[in-house]
Amino acid sequence: MTYDIVFVVASALAIISALGVILSGNPFHSALALIGNLVALAALYLLLQSDFLAAAQVIVYAGAVMIMFLFVIAYLGGRATEPVRARPWWQTLAALAAAVAVVVEVGFAIEEQAFGDGASVSEAFGAPQAIAASFLGRYVLTFEATSVLLLIAAVGGVTLAAHRPAPREEGAVSAFEIERPAPEVSLQAEVVDALTRFDVVRAGQVRDEDGET
Amino acid sequence: MPDGFILTFVKAFVLANLVMGVFAFLTWLERRLLGRFQVRLGPNRVGPFGLLQPIADLVKLIRKESILPEGISPVLYIAAPALSLFASLAVFAVIPFGEEATIPGTDWKIFLFISNPSVALLVVFALGSISFYGFLVGGWSSSSKYSLYGSMRAVSQLISYEVSLALAVIGVVMMAQSLSLTGIAEAQDRDGLWYIIPQFLGFVVYVVASTAEVSRIPFDLPEAEGELVAGYHTEYGGMRFAMFQNAEYVALIAFSAVASILFFGGYEGPWLPGPLWMLIKMTFFILIAMWVRATLPRIRYDKLMSIGWKVLLPAATLNLLVTSAIVAWRA
């Protein structure tokens, strides 16, 4: 009974937040809805006796991955008032085709699996020990290859984003090397020039008979 | 409804209110202690020793006008402080204050925890990562430069230090061979050794990183008053502002509880009952946090980042490597 209530609530939240992801015009709201979806899925994992998977889902996907999404959107994304941009027609068509394909596939999966007896699993199913045994035992090669793949992606990202200083031209002078007159000297000269109606005589200037310099 | 549902609800209700009461008392204690550290009195006018000061503050905050600034996203703006507070409070759902206990005068037996999942430590981290969203969403929805900068700082700081925090904790998990908080406490009782001794490096990393996770001085860059007005909660006032502060305090209490269990044996101890031991150990950690706040100045932002990535992370990794080698050798 309690499980049924949790299942209905979590599934409803998952569907509503999934709709929120695609229907919201604001990328920040979409990303927030996606977080809600991932958390609702974690609740469903809990019902499937996968405590570890549920916690990992929240830490990795709802936590680490999505916070990066939100971070970038908050930095670069528009405000709530930004108008929705029109999409090209082929994008709509492709999205529809992909959606229909997923629905058909899920339909087949449900028809084959869902209405039979529930799978029988042992107590240890989904425990950290069982997951560790499959990651670091049977599938150790795949697991390590995946981490190398992620490392390559990270290094690639750093390389692409790394700030390379522009090559220095021959004879270029850095801003620090240019000697300028002290700021108060030039300021004083300007102020004195601008505000006095009298002739300004600077040291080194010679005044001729007519009063012209 | 199963019988366990009502009992769990009652336990959660009592614990949440206890934590809130402790929070109110801690704000008084911190201000009094800070006063002593800085050779002044601190609040001493409202009630005996100023003990009613938190209630006076609460009344003041409740009576403030609830302002919605222009240009905000109202739903997110209102939801953000609630999300932070929820995530901080929810951690107490998995924190054990003892084993099975009998209620005095009856023969009712209850467990002194709300729930005891086998992956309790992961649940703590999961709730921690949820609480980041309160700060980020609060800053973003305020539509203010200072708020956004504050939440950006908060998020980059929390992400950086969460890595070291998790790595520091894995050493304890390997020694205890368990992810459950009761399992870790019992493993220390079984080994006859608090894990602060073999895991001292991990302990130091944990304390530093958790101070950064709860954004307290010297790591309170997200709300550096000198530069950012008040960081991510610049545009918040009244009770909404108080909820953000409340969330930080509750997170401090929660991190102290987790530290007591991971490194100080939790509720296990001689003579006294389990909850009392937890309380003593948690008080120790909270007092350290207050002492640090009174002693250290705020550090610069680039130093904060380089401490996180270039000192704490290598230290935690070293601790992890040595621990795993020893555990594998002894097995």
Q: Which chain B residues are Cβ-neighbours of A32 within 8 angstroms?
A: 76, 133, 137
- Residue B73 to residue A80, Cβ atoms within 8 A: yes
The percent of residues above 90 in pLDDT, for chain A, comes to 23
Closest CA to B91 of B4, B214, B177: B214
A72 CB neighbour count, 10 Å cutoff: 12
Closest CA to B283 of B77, B58, B22: B22
d(CA A150, CA A156): 10
- Residue A59 to residue B126, Cβ atoms within 8 A: yes
B251-280 residue pLDDT tens: 999 999 999 988 888 787 777 777 888 888
- What are the boundaries of each domain within chain B? 1-63, 75-330
Comparing CB atoms, the residue among B2, B133, B140 nearest residue A35 is B133
Which pLDDT score, from 0 to 100, does residue B1 have?
40
Which pLDDT score, from 0 to 100, does residue B71 have?
76
- Sequence-distant (6+) residues with CB within 8 A of B124 are B91, B94, B254, B258
Instruction: For residue B45, give both structure tokens.
Output: 């006018």
Low-confidence ranges of chain B (pLDDT < 50): 1-2
Instruction: For residue B44, give both structure tokens.
Output: 């001493």
- What is the length of chain A? 213
Q: Which chain A residues are Cβ-neighbours of B137 within 8 angstroms?
A: 32, 70
B119 touches chain A (CB under 8 A): yes
Q: Which chain B residues are Cβ-neighbours of A62 within 8 angstroms?
A: 126, 129-130
* More confident: A182 or A5: A5
User: ipTM surpassing 0.90, yes or no?
Assistant: no
CATH 3.30.465.10 at A1-80, yes or no: no
Which pLDDT score, from 0 to 100, does residue B58 have?
87
A54-95 residue pLDDT tens: 888 888 888 888 888 888 887 776 555 555 667 788 888 998
Above 60 in pLDDT, residue A120?
Answer: yes
- Residue A67 to residue B129, Cβ atoms within 8 A: yes
**Letter string b/e over residues A83-109, b meaning 16 or more CB atoms within 10 A of that residue's CB:** eeeeeeeeeeeeeeeeeeeeeeeeeee
Above 60 in pLDDT, residue A209?
Answer: no
A148 touches chain B (CB under 8 A): no
Closest CA to B97 of B166, B19, B30: B19
Which pLDDT score, from 0 to 100, does residue A126 have?
76
Comparing CB atoms, the residue among A52, A64, A75 nearest residue B119 is A52
Comparing CB atoms, the residue among A55, A59, A75 nearest residue B152 is A75
Which pLDDT score, from 0 to 100, does residue A204 have?
60
The answer to whether the CB of B232 falls within 8 A of the CB of B266 is: no
Q: Which chain A residues are Cβ-neighbours of B124 within 8 angstroms?
A: none
- Residue B73 to residue A63, Cβ atoms within 8 A: no
Q: Which residue of B has its CA nearest to A66?
A: B133
Taking each helix axis from N to C terminus, what angle separates B274-295 and B3-37, rounded to the nearest 10 degrees?
Answer: 40
Which pLDDT score, from 0 to 100, does residue A77 have?
64
Which pLDDT score, from 0 to 100, does residue A78 have?
57
Residue recorded with tokens 């700021």: A183
Q: Which chain A residues are Cβ-neighbours of B161 within 8 angstroms?
A: none
For chain A, positions 107-136, list CB contacts with chain B under 8 A: 127-128
For chain B, positions 140-199, list CB contacts with chain A under 8 A: 140, 143, 148, 151-152, 155-156, 159, 179
Which pLDDT score, from 0 to 100, does residue B144 have?
80
Q: Find which of A1, A37, A59, A79 to mutate to test the B interface (most B CBs within 10 Å of its CB).
A: A59
- Residue B136 to residue A2, Cβ atoms within 8 A: no
The answer to whether the CB of B115 falls within 8 A of the CB of B8 is: yes
- Residue A32 to residue B130, Cβ atoms within 8 A: no
DSSP B2: -
Cα dihedral B183→B189→B195→B197 (10° resolution): -170
B136 touches chain A (CB under 8 A): yes
Taking each helix axis from N to C terminus, what angle separates B120-141 and B145-176, rounded to the nearest 10 degrees?
Answer: 180
Comparing CB atoms, the residue among A59, A70, A79 nearest residue B125 is A59
Which pLDDT score, from 0 to 100, does residue A100 have?
94
Is the Cα torsion angle A140, A146, A149, A153 positive or negative in sign?
Answer: negative
Instruction: For residue B269, give both structure tokens.
Output: 């101890």
A202 touches chain B (CB under 8 A): no
Task: Give the CA distances from residue A69 to residues A146, B128, B240, in Å, rounded to whole numbers and listed in that order.
Answer: 22, 18, 26
Instruction: For residue A136, give both structure tokens.
Output: 């670091």
Strand partners, B110: B101
Provide DSSP, A146-211.
Answer: HHHHHHHHHHHHHHHH--PPPPPPTT---TTT-----HHHHHHHHHHHHH-SSPP--TT----TTS
Which pLDDT score, from 0 to 100, does residue B212 have?
87
Comparing CB atoms, the residue among A28, A42, A63 nearest residue B140 is A28
**Size of the A and B interface in Cβ pairs below 8 Å:** 70
A11-61 residue pLDDT tens: 999 999 999 988 887 788 888 899 999 999 999 888 887 888 888 888 888
Which pLDDT score, from 0 to 100, does residue A38 have?
92
- What are the boundaries of each domain within chain A? 1-80, 124-160
Task: Give the CA distances from residue B194 to residues B65, B84, B107, B138, in Å, rounded to whole numbers and listed in that order.
Answer: 50, 32, 32, 40
The percent of residues above 70 in pLDDT, for chain A, comes to 69
